[in-house]
Chains A and B, each alone.
Chain A
Amino acid sequence: MLRSSERRAAVADFLLAAAGFVLAMVALGLIRILWGPGDADRIMAAQLLGTGGIAALLLLARAMSMPAAVDVALILALLAAFISVAFVKGADRSEMDRA
Protein backbone atom coordinates (compact mmCIF):
# COMPACT_ATOMS: atom_id res chain seq x y z
CA MET A 1 0.00 0.00 0.00
CA LEU A 2 1.42 3.35 -1.03
CA ARG A 3 2.21 5.98 1.57
CA SER A 4 -0.18 8.89 1.59
CA SER A 5 2.36 11.37 0.17
CA GLU A 6 3.33 9.01 -2.63
CA ARG A 7 -0.31 8.50 -3.45
CA ARG A 8 -0.85 12.25 -3.52
CA ALA A 9 2.06 12.63 -5.92
CA ALA A 10 0.70 9.81 -8.07
CA VAL A 11 -2.73 11.45 -8.26
CA ALA A 12 -1.09 14.77 -9.13
CA ASP A 13 0.89 13.10 -11.93
CA PHE A 14 -2.28 11.47 -13.21
CA LEU A 15 -4.14 14.78 -13.22
CA LEU A 16 -1.27 16.42 -15.09
CA ALA A 17 -1.38 13.61 -17.66
CA ALA A 18 -5.15 14.07 -17.97
CA ALA A 19 -4.62 17.79 -18.56
CA GLY A 20 -2.10 16.92 -21.27
CA PHE A 21 -4.58 14.54 -22.86
CA VAL A 22 -7.34 17.17 -22.90
CA LEU A 23 -4.86 19.60 -24.44
CA ALA A 24 -3.99 17.07 -27.13
CA MET A 25 -7.70 16.68 -27.90
CA VAL A 26 -8.03 20.46 -28.14
CA ALA A 27 -5.04 20.55 -30.49
CA LEU A 28 -6.58 17.94 -32.78
CA GLY A 29 -9.90 19.71 -32.72
CA LEU A 30 -8.23 23.04 -33.50
CA ILE A 31 -6.53 21.58 -36.55
CA ARG A 32 -9.90 20.52 -37.91
CA ILE A 33 -11.71 23.69 -36.93
CA LEU A 34 -9.17 26.19 -38.16
CA TRP A 35 -9.13 24.40 -41.51
CA GLY A 36 -12.68 25.65 -41.91
CA PRO A 37 -14.35 26.20 -44.24
CA GLY A 38 -16.67 28.94 -43.25
CA ASP A 39 -16.89 31.34 -40.37
CA ALA A 40 -19.17 29.15 -38.25
CA ASP A 41 -16.50 26.46 -38.03
CA ARG A 42 -13.88 28.92 -36.90
CA ILE A 43 -16.09 30.44 -34.22
CA MET A 44 -16.28 26.95 -32.74
CA ALA A 45 -12.61 27.35 -31.90
CA ALA A 46 -13.54 29.72 -29.09
CA GLN A 47 -15.98 27.14 -27.70
CA LEU A 48 -13.49 24.29 -28.00
CA LEU A 49 -10.73 26.22 -26.32
CA GLY A 50 -13.16 27.45 -23.70
CA THR A 51 -14.33 24.02 -22.60
CA GLY A 52 -11.00 22.27 -23.09
CA GLY A 53 -9.06 25.12 -21.54
CA ILE A 54 -11.30 25.16 -18.47
CA ALA A 55 -10.87 21.41 -18.05
CA ALA A 56 -7.10 21.67 -18.41
CA LEU A 57 -6.92 24.61 -15.98
CA LEU A 58 -9.03 22.88 -13.33
CA LEU A 59 -6.85 19.78 -13.61
CA LEU A 60 -3.69 21.88 -13.44
CA ALA A 61 -5.03 23.73 -10.39
CA ARG A 62 -5.17 20.46 -8.52
CA ALA A 63 -2.01 18.94 -10.01
CA MET A 64 0.13 22.02 -9.28
CA SER A 65 -1.65 22.91 -6.02
CA MET A 66 -2.45 26.33 -7.47
CA PRO A 67 -6.00 27.34 -6.47
CA ALA A 68 -5.65 30.57 -8.47
CA ALA A 69 -5.87 28.52 -11.66
CA VAL A 70 -9.56 27.90 -10.84
CA ASP A 71 -10.04 31.69 -10.96
CA VAL A 72 -8.34 31.72 -14.36
CA ALA A 73 -10.82 29.02 -15.44
CA LEU A 74 -13.74 31.19 -14.28
CA ILE A 75 -12.42 34.14 -16.28
CA LEU A 76 -11.89 31.84 -19.26
CA ALA A 77 -15.54 30.74 -19.10
CA LEU A 78 -16.81 34.31 -19.07
CA LEU A 79 -14.46 35.63 -21.71
CA ALA A 80 -15.00 32.62 -24.02
CA ALA A 81 -18.74 33.33 -23.88
CA PHE A 82 -18.16 37.02 -24.53
CA ILE A 83 -15.79 36.49 -27.44
CA SER A 84 -18.00 33.79 -29.01
CA VAL A 85 -20.96 36.16 -29.09
CA ALA A 86 -18.73 38.92 -30.44
CA PHE A 87 -17.56 36.58 -33.21
CA VAL A 88 -21.12 35.60 -34.09
CA LYS A 89 -22.16 39.25 -34.25
CA GLY A 90 -19.05 40.05 -36.27
CA ALA A 91 -19.66 37.18 -38.69
CA ASP A 92 -23.29 38.22 -39.18
CA ARG A 93 -22.24 41.77 -39.86
CA SER A 94 -19.53 40.76 -42.34
CA GLU A 95 -22.07 38.56 -44.08
CA MET A 96 -24.46 41.48 -44.35
CA ASP A 97 -21.71 43.79 -45.59
CA ARG A 98 -20.50 41.32 -48.16
CA ALA A 99 -24.03 40.54 -49.37
Chain B
Amino acid sequence: MAFDIGLAILVLGVAAWTIAARDTFAAVIGFVAYGLLLALVWVRLAAPDVALTEAALGSGLTGGLLLGASTRLARTQGSAAIDKPSAIIRRAAAVLCTLVSAGLGAIVLLLPEPAPTLAPQAAANLAATGLGNPVTAVLMAYRAIDTLLETVVLLLALVGIWSLAPDQLWGGLPGRRYPVDRDGVLTFVAQLLVPVGILVGIYIFWVGSIAPGGEFQGATILAAMWIFATMARLADSPAVSRRWLRLVLVVGPAVFFAIGLAGFAIAGGFLAYPEAHAKLLILTIEVPVTLSIAATLALLVGGPPERALR
Protein backbone atom coordinates (compact mmCIF):
# COMPACT_ATOMS: atom_id res chain seq x y z
CA MET B 1 0.00 0.00 0.00
CA ALA B 2 2.76 2.42 0.94
CA PHE B 3 4.56 1.35 -2.22
CA ASP B 4 1.57 2.29 -4.35
CA ILE B 5 1.11 5.67 -2.67
CA GLY B 6 4.81 6.45 -3.13
CA LEU B 7 4.65 5.39 -6.77
CA ALA B 8 1.58 7.54 -7.38
CA ILE B 9 3.23 10.59 -5.83
CA LEU B 10 6.37 10.00 -7.91
CA VAL B 11 4.34 9.72 -11.12
CA LEU B 12 2.44 12.92 -10.34
CA GLY B 13 5.68 14.71 -9.49
CA VAL B 14 7.33 13.73 -12.76
CA ALA B 15 4.19 14.73 -14.68
CA ALA B 16 4.15 18.14 -13.00
CA TRP B 17 7.84 18.63 -13.80
CA THR B 18 7.26 17.68 -17.44
CA ILE B 19 4.56 20.31 -17.81
CA ALA B 20 6.65 22.96 -16.05
CA ALA B 21 9.87 22.22 -17.94
CA ARG B 22 11.31 25.17 -19.76
CA ASP B 23 12.63 23.65 -22.95
CA THR B 24 11.22 20.91 -25.15
CA PHE B 25 14.19 18.57 -24.78
CA ALA B 26 13.81 18.47 -20.99
CA ALA B 27 10.06 17.98 -21.36
CA VAL B 28 10.57 14.98 -23.64
CA ILE B 29 12.91 13.42 -21.08
CA GLY B 30 10.28 14.00 -18.42
CA PHE B 31 7.69 12.39 -20.66
CA VAL B 32 9.81 9.26 -21.14
CA ALA B 33 10.47 9.07 -17.39
CA TYR B 34 6.73 9.41 -16.78
CA GLY B 35 6.00 6.59 -19.23
CA LEU B 36 8.51 4.23 -17.64
CA LEU B 37 7.03 4.87 -14.20
CA LEU B 38 3.55 4.33 -15.62
CA ALA B 39 4.67 0.86 -16.74
CA LEU B 40 5.41 0.14 -13.08
CA VAL B 41 1.91 1.34 -12.20
CA TRP B 42 0.38 -1.05 -14.71
CA VAL B 43 2.35 -3.94 -13.24
CA ARG B 44 1.03 -3.03 -9.80
CA LEU B 45 -2.48 -3.03 -11.26
CA ALA B 46 -1.85 -6.60 -12.50
CA ALA B 47 -1.98 -5.58 -16.18
CA PRO B 48 1.33 -6.82 -17.62
CA ASP B 49 0.16 -6.59 -21.25
CA VAL B 50 -0.55 -2.88 -20.82
CA ALA B 51 2.75 -2.47 -18.96
CA LEU B 52 4.61 -4.03 -21.92
CA THR B 53 2.84 -1.74 -24.36
CA GLU B 54 3.40 1.34 -22.18
CA ALA B 55 7.11 0.68 -21.75
CA ALA B 56 7.69 -0.08 -25.41
CA LEU B 57 5.25 2.08 -27.31
CA GLY B 58 3.93 4.72 -24.93
CA SER B 59 7.29 5.66 -23.48
CA GLY B 60 10.06 4.41 -25.73
CA LEU B 61 8.84 4.86 -29.26
CA THR B 62 6.64 7.89 -28.61
CA GLY B 63 9.61 9.40 -26.80
CA GLY B 64 11.69 8.89 -29.92
CA LEU B 65 8.95 10.51 -31.99
CA LEU B 66 8.69 13.53 -29.69
CA LEU B 67 12.46 13.81 -29.57
CA GLY B 68 12.63 13.99 -33.35
CA ALA B 69 9.99 16.72 -33.28
CA SER B 70 11.84 18.57 -30.53
CA THR B 71 15.17 18.60 -32.37
CA ARG B 72 13.46 19.78 -35.55
CA LEU B 73 11.81 22.59 -33.60
CA ALA B 74 14.99 23.56 -31.73
CA ARG B 75 15.94 26.15 -34.31
CA THR B 76 12.60 27.93 -34.04
CA GLN B 77 12.31 27.66 -30.27
CA GLY B 78 13.37 31.26 -29.66
CA SER B 79 10.72 32.80 -31.88
CA ALA B 80 8.08 30.34 -30.71
CA ALA B 81 8.53 31.48 -27.11
CA ILE B 82 7.11 34.88 -28.06
CA ASP B 83 3.97 33.18 -29.33
CA LYS B 84 3.12 31.57 -26.01
CA PRO B 85 -0.65 31.50 -25.30
CA SER B 86 -1.94 34.20 -22.98
CA ALA B 87 -2.37 33.69 -19.25
CA ILE B 88 -6.16 33.44 -19.61
CA ILE B 89 -5.92 30.57 -22.05
CA ARG B 90 -3.37 28.78 -19.90
CA ARG B 91 -5.56 29.13 -16.82
CA ALA B 92 -8.60 27.91 -18.73
CA ALA B 93 -6.61 24.89 -19.89
CA ALA B 94 -5.54 24.16 -16.32
CA VAL B 95 -9.15 24.36 -15.10
CA LEU B 96 -10.34 22.10 -17.92
CA CYS B 97 -7.63 19.50 -17.20
CA THR B 98 -8.49 19.55 -13.50
CA LEU B 99 -12.18 19.07 -14.23
CA VAL B 100 -11.48 16.13 -16.57
CA SER B 101 -9.14 14.50 -14.04
CA ALA B 102 -11.65 14.97 -11.24
CA GLY B 103 -14.38 13.54 -13.43
CA LEU B 104 -12.33 10.47 -14.31
CA GLY B 105 -11.40 9.98 -10.67
CA ALA B 106 -15.03 10.26 -9.60
CA ILE B 107 -16.10 7.71 -12.21
CA VAL B 108 -13.50 5.20 -11.04
CA LEU B 109 -14.30 5.71 -7.36
CA LEU B 110 -18.07 5.55 -7.90
CA LEU B 111 -18.02 2.29 -9.88
CA PRO B 112 -20.51 -0.24 -8.50
CA GLU B 113 -19.08 -3.19 -6.62
CA PRO B 114 -18.35 -5.51 -8.42
CA ALA B 115 -17.47 -3.30 -11.39
CA PRO B 116 -19.15 -4.20 -14.69
CA THR B 117 -16.80 -6.30 -16.75
CA LEU B 118 -16.75 -8.74 -19.64
CA ALA B 119 -13.63 -10.48 -18.39
CA PRO B 120 -15.37 -13.70 -17.22
CA GLN B 121 -17.00 -14.17 -20.63
CA ALA B 122 -13.72 -13.43 -22.38
CA ALA B 123 -11.99 -16.07 -20.29
CA ALA B 124 -14.83 -18.56 -20.67
CA ASN B 125 -14.68 -18.52 -24.46
CA LEU B 126 -10.90 -18.65 -24.65
CA ALA B 127 -10.75 -22.31 -25.59
CA ALA B 128 -12.64 -21.68 -28.81
CA THR B 129 -9.95 -19.29 -30.04
CA GLY B 130 -7.10 -21.70 -29.33
CA LEU B 131 -5.22 -18.98 -27.46
CA GLY B 132 -4.04 -18.90 -23.87
CA ASN B 133 -3.88 -15.16 -23.32
CA PRO B 134 -7.28 -13.43 -23.00
CA VAL B 135 -5.84 -10.05 -24.00
CA THR B 136 -4.59 -11.44 -27.31
CA ALA B 137 -7.95 -13.16 -27.75
CA VAL B 138 -9.68 -9.79 -27.38
CA LEU B 139 -7.27 -8.12 -29.83
CA MET B 140 -7.23 -10.84 -32.47
CA ALA B 141 -10.54 -12.66 -32.14
CA TYR B 142 -13.30 -10.85 -30.27
CA ARG B 143 -12.40 -7.34 -31.48
CA ALA B 144 -10.20 -8.15 -34.44
CA ILE B 145 -11.83 -5.42 -36.48
CA ASP B 146 -10.44 -2.78 -34.10
CA THR B 147 -6.94 -4.16 -34.58
CA LEU B 148 -7.38 -4.20 -38.35
CA LEU B 149 -8.48 -0.58 -38.35
CA GLU B 150 -5.55 0.34 -36.06
CA THR B 151 -3.07 -0.99 -38.59
CA VAL B 152 -4.77 1.04 -41.31
CA VAL B 153 -4.72 4.17 -39.13
CA LEU B 154 -0.98 3.76 -38.61
CA LEU B 155 -0.49 3.57 -42.37
CA LEU B 156 -2.58 6.70 -42.90
CA ALA B 157 -0.49 8.51 -40.27
CA LEU B 158 2.64 7.47 -42.13
CA VAL B 159 1.29 8.78 -45.43
CA GLY B 160 0.41 12.02 -43.65
CA ILE B 161 3.97 12.36 -42.37
CA TRP B 162 5.43 11.62 -45.80
CA SER B 163 3.25 14.32 -47.30
CA LEU B 164 5.13 16.90 -45.22
CA ALA B 165 8.19 16.49 -47.44
CA PRO B 166 8.88 19.31 -49.91
CA ASP B 167 8.20 18.40 -53.52
CA GLN B 168 11.79 17.86 -54.59
CA LEU B 169 12.40 15.43 -51.72
CA TRP B 170 9.26 13.34 -52.25
CA GLY B 171 10.12 9.67 -52.27
CA GLY B 172 13.57 10.26 -50.76
CA LEU B 173 15.26 8.91 -47.67
CA PRO B 174 13.71 9.73 -44.29
CA GLY B 175 15.76 11.24 -41.52
CA ARG B 176 19.20 12.73 -41.68
CA ARG B 177 22.42 10.81 -41.95
CA TYR B 178 23.89 10.36 -38.49
CA PRO B 179 27.60 11.14 -38.06
CA VAL B 180 29.88 8.15 -37.72
CA ASP B 181 30.88 7.42 -34.13
CA ARG B 182 34.57 8.30 -33.80
CA ASP B 183 35.47 5.89 -31.03
CA GLY B 184 33.26 3.06 -32.17
CA VAL B 185 31.45 2.85 -28.80
CA LEU B 186 28.02 3.19 -30.33
CA THR B 187 28.88 0.76 -33.12
CA PHE B 188 30.04 -1.79 -30.56
CA VAL B 189 26.96 -1.60 -28.42
CA ALA B 190 24.70 -1.65 -31.47
CA GLN B 191 26.38 -4.75 -32.87
CA LEU B 192 25.67 -6.55 -29.61
CA LEU B 193 22.37 -5.02 -28.62
CA VAL B 194 20.47 -5.04 -31.92
CA PRO B 195 20.59 -8.83 -32.50
CA VAL B 196 19.62 -9.47 -28.88
CA GLY B 197 16.85 -6.92 -29.21
CA ILE B 198 15.52 -8.58 -32.35
CA LEU B 199 15.47 -11.91 -30.52
CA VAL B 200 13.61 -10.38 -27.59
CA GLY B 201 11.16 -8.75 -29.98
CA ILE B 202 10.40 -12.00 -31.73
CA TYR B 203 10.09 -13.74 -28.35
CA ILE B 204 7.63 -11.16 -27.01
CA PHE B 205 5.57 -11.48 -30.19
CA TRP B 206 5.59 -15.27 -30.06
CA VAL B 207 4.79 -15.61 -26.38
CA GLY B 208 1.78 -13.31 -26.81
CA SER B 209 -0.49 -16.22 -27.61
CA ILE B 210 -0.12 -17.77 -24.17
CA ALA B 211 1.31 -15.05 -21.94
CA PRO B 212 1.47 -11.24 -21.87
CA GLY B 213 2.95 -9.99 -25.11
CA GLY B 214 1.80 -9.84 -28.68
CA GLU B 215 2.39 -8.32 -32.04
CA PHE B 216 2.30 -4.61 -31.16
CA GLN B 217 4.84 -4.92 -28.38
CA GLY B 218 7.11 -7.19 -30.44
CA ALA B 219 6.83 -4.91 -33.47
CA THR B 220 7.74 -1.87 -31.35
CA ILE B 221 10.91 -3.56 -30.12
CA LEU B 222 11.84 -4.49 -33.69
CA ALA B 223 11.22 -0.91 -34.83
CA ALA B 224 13.30 0.49 -31.96
CA MET B 225 16.17 -1.87 -32.80
CA TRP B 226 16.05 -0.81 -36.45
CA ILE B 227 16.21 2.87 -35.49
CA PHE B 228 19.05 2.03 -33.10
CA ALA B 229 20.94 0.45 -35.97
CA THR B 230 20.46 3.54 -38.14
CA MET B 231 21.65 5.80 -35.30
CA ALA B 232 24.81 3.69 -35.03
CA ARG B 233 25.32 3.79 -38.79
CA LEU B 234 25.01 0.01 -39.06
CA ALA B 235 22.20 0.46 -41.56
CA ASP B 236 20.54 3.25 -43.44
CA SER B 237 16.91 3.95 -44.04
CA PRO B 238 15.63 2.83 -47.43
CA ALA B 239 14.03 5.43 -49.67
CA VAL B 240 10.31 5.65 -49.09
CA SER B 241 9.59 5.16 -52.75
CA ARG B 242 11.11 1.69 -52.82
CA ARG B 243 8.56 -0.85 -53.93
CA TRP B 244 9.65 -3.60 -51.53
CA LEU B 245 9.33 -1.18 -48.59
CA ARG B 246 5.81 -0.26 -49.56
CA LEU B 247 5.00 -3.94 -49.96
CA VAL B 248 6.24 -4.67 -46.44
CA LEU B 249 4.13 -1.80 -45.10
CA VAL B 250 0.99 -3.02 -46.78
CA VAL B 251 1.25 -6.81 -46.45
CA GLY B 252 0.03 -6.85 -42.84
CA PRO B 253 -3.26 -5.00 -43.24
CA ALA B 254 -3.77 -6.69 -46.62
CA VAL B 255 -3.48 -10.22 -45.20
CA PHE B 256 -5.64 -9.20 -42.26
CA PHE B 257 -8.31 -7.85 -44.58
CA ALA B 258 -8.11 -10.85 -46.91
CA ILE B 259 -8.59 -13.33 -44.08
CA GLY B 260 -11.41 -11.15 -42.85
CA LEU B 261 -13.15 -11.37 -46.21
CA ALA B 262 -12.49 -15.10 -46.35
CA GLY B 263 -14.39 -15.29 -43.08
CA PHE B 264 -17.58 -14.72 -45.07
CA ALA B 265 -16.96 -17.93 -46.99
CA ILE B 266 -15.64 -20.22 -44.28
CA ALA B 267 -17.26 -19.07 -41.05
CA GLY B 268 -20.21 -16.87 -41.86
CA GLY B 269 -19.04 -13.35 -41.06
CA PHE B 270 -16.30 -10.74 -41.54
CA LEU B 271 -13.24 -11.75 -39.53
CA ALA B 272 -14.99 -14.86 -38.22
CA TYR B 273 -12.75 -17.88 -37.67
CA PRO B 274 -13.81 -21.54 -37.93
CA GLU B 275 -13.16 -23.04 -34.52
CA ALA B 276 -10.86 -25.79 -35.73
CA HIS B 277 -8.42 -23.45 -37.48
CA ALA B 278 -8.75 -20.32 -35.35
CA LYS B 279 -5.24 -20.37 -33.96
CA LEU B 280 -3.65 -21.05 -37.35
CA LEU B 281 -5.55 -18.18 -38.96
CA ILE B 282 -4.65 -15.83 -36.12
CA LEU B 283 -0.99 -16.75 -36.49
CA THR B 284 -1.18 -16.23 -40.26
CA ILE B 285 -2.49 -12.74 -39.61
CA GLU B 286 -0.05 -11.94 -36.80
CA VAL B 287 3.24 -12.56 -38.60
CA PRO B 288 2.77 -10.13 -41.51
CA VAL B 289 1.04 -7.63 -39.22
CA THR B 290 4.06 -7.61 -36.91
CA LEU B 291 6.34 -6.96 -39.88
CA SER B 292 4.17 -4.18 -41.23
CA ILE B 293 3.75 -2.47 -37.90
CA ALA B 294 7.48 -2.66 -37.17
CA ALA B 295 8.22 -1.01 -40.51
CA THR B 296 5.45 1.57 -40.06
CA LEU B 297 6.61 2.56 -36.57
CA ALA B 298 10.25 2.78 -37.64
CA LEU B 299 9.30 5.02 -40.56
CA LEU B 300 7.00 7.13 -38.39
CA VAL B 301 9.90 7.96 -36.09
CA GLY B 302 12.14 8.51 -39.10
CA GLY B 303 9.91 11.30 -40.26
CA PRO B 304 9.36 12.88 -43.68
CA PRO B 305 12.03 12.37 -46.32
CA GLU B 306 14.91 14.80 -45.80
CA ARG B 307 17.36 13.51 -48.36
CA ALA B 308 16.66 13.30 -52.05
CA LEU B 309 16.72 10.04 -53.91
CA ARG B 310 19.86 9.96 -55.95
Alpha-carbon distance between A79 and B67 when the two chains are bound, in angstroms: 14
State whether A30 and B43 are in contact (beta carbons under 8 Å apart), knowing that A72-B52, A75-B221 are contacts in the complex: no
Tell whether, in the assembled complex, residue A94 and residue B25 are in contact, meaning their CB atoms are under 8 Å apart.
yes
A90-B25, A91-B25, A98-B74 given; A78·B40 CB < 8 A: no
Contact code string A49-65 (vs B, CB < 8 Å = 1, else 0): 11001001100100010
**Contact indicator A69/B221 (Cβ below 8 Å):** no
B48 touches A71 (CB 8 A): yes
Q: Considering the chains assembled together, what is the distance between the CA atoms of A97 and B193 in angstroms?
A: 29
The interface residues of chain B, by DSSP majority, are classed as helix
Q: Point out the residues of chain A lying under 8 angstroms from B59, CB to CB.
A: 79, 83
User: Count of B residues near A, CB < 8 Å?
Assistant: 59
User: Are A78 and B197 closer than 8 Å at their CB atoms?
Assistant: yes
Q: Quick one: given A75-B217, A93-B71, are A82 and B40 in contact (CB under 8 Å)? A: no
CA distance A89 to B64 in the complex (A): 11
Q: Using Cβ atoms and an 8 Å threshold, which residues of chain B touch A53? A: 36-37, 39-40
| Among A27, A56, A78, contact of B224 (Cβ-Cβ < 8 Å) | A78
Given A56-B40, A83-B63, A91-B25, answer yes or no on A69-B51 (Cβ-Cβ < 8 Å).
Answer: yes
Residue among A23, A64, A83 with the highest chain B CB neighbour number at 10 A: A83
In the complex, A49→B193 CA distance in Å?
19
Query: Within the complex, which residue of B44, B74, B212 is in contact with A71, where a contact is CB–CB below 8 Å?
Result: B212
Q: B56 on the interface (CB 8 Å rule)?
A: yes
Report how many residues on chain A are interfacial, defined by Cβ distance under 8 Å.
48
Please classify the interface of chain A as helix (H, G, I), strand (E, B), loop, or mixed, using the class held by over half of its residues: helix
Q: Looking across the interface, which residue of chain A has its beta carbon closest to that of B201? A: A78
Chain A neighbourhood of B17, CB < 8 A? 34
29 residue pairs from A and B, CB less than 8 Å apart? A16-B3, A20-B2, A23-B6, A24-B6, A34-B14, A34-B26, A34-B33, A42-B26, A43-B29, A46-B32, A57-B43, A60-B40, A68-B51, A68-B52, A71-B213, A72-B39, A72-B48, A75-B55, A75-B60, A76-B39, A79-B56, A81-B189, A82-B64, A85-B186, A85-B232, A86-B231, A90-B67, A93-B74, A94-B71
Interface residues in chain A, defined as those with a beta carbon under 8 Å from any beta carbon in chain B: 16-17, 19-20, 23-24, 26-27, 30, 34, 36, 39, 42-43, 45-46, 49-50, 53, 56-57, 60, 64, 66-69, 71-72, 74-76, 78-83, 85-87, 89-91, 93-94, 97-98
Interface residues of chain B, those whose CB is within 8 Å of chain A, are 2-3, 6-7, 10, 13-14, 17, 25-26, 28-30, 32-33, 36-37, 39-40, 43-44, 46, 48-49, 51-52, 55-56, 59-61, 63-64, 67-68, 70-71, 74-75, 178, 186, 189, 193, 196-197, 200, 204, 207, 211-213, 217, 221, 224-225, 227-228, 231-232
